[in-house]
Amino acid sequence: MHYHRERWEREKDETIKFDIYEAEGVQYYILVYPNDLKAKVYSLNNGKYIKVSDFTHEVLILDDLDGELSLDFARVFKKFRK
């Protein structure tokens, strides 16, 4: 049962929410997969999300917002690493 719910949540994040956020003009969409120790980052370009990259331990800096945002994925995933 847990597997099916996790799979449904993942599919919802990758399709339904992805499409909604894109249509609403949300500048960045970040999918975090703690079990895979990976994050997928998308940026809105001409109304469509373009994949920036996959992140595992890198630092993502978004400085084109009202302020600067820095995400250190090594720290994000630290507690999930075994």
33-68: per-residue pLDDT in tens?
Answer: 999 999 999 999 999 999 999 999 999 999 887 888
- The alpha carbon dihedral of 54, 44, 28, 33 has a sign of negative
Predicted local confidence at residue 74, as pLDDT: 96
**DSSP letter (8 states) at residue 37:** T
Predicted local confidence at residue 43, as pLDDT: 97
Report pTM.
0.86
Predicted local confidence at residue 31, as pLDDT: 96
Q: How many domains does the chain have?
A: 1
Taking 80 as the threshold, does the pLDDT of residue 2 lie above it?
no
Which domain range does residue 38 map to?
2-80
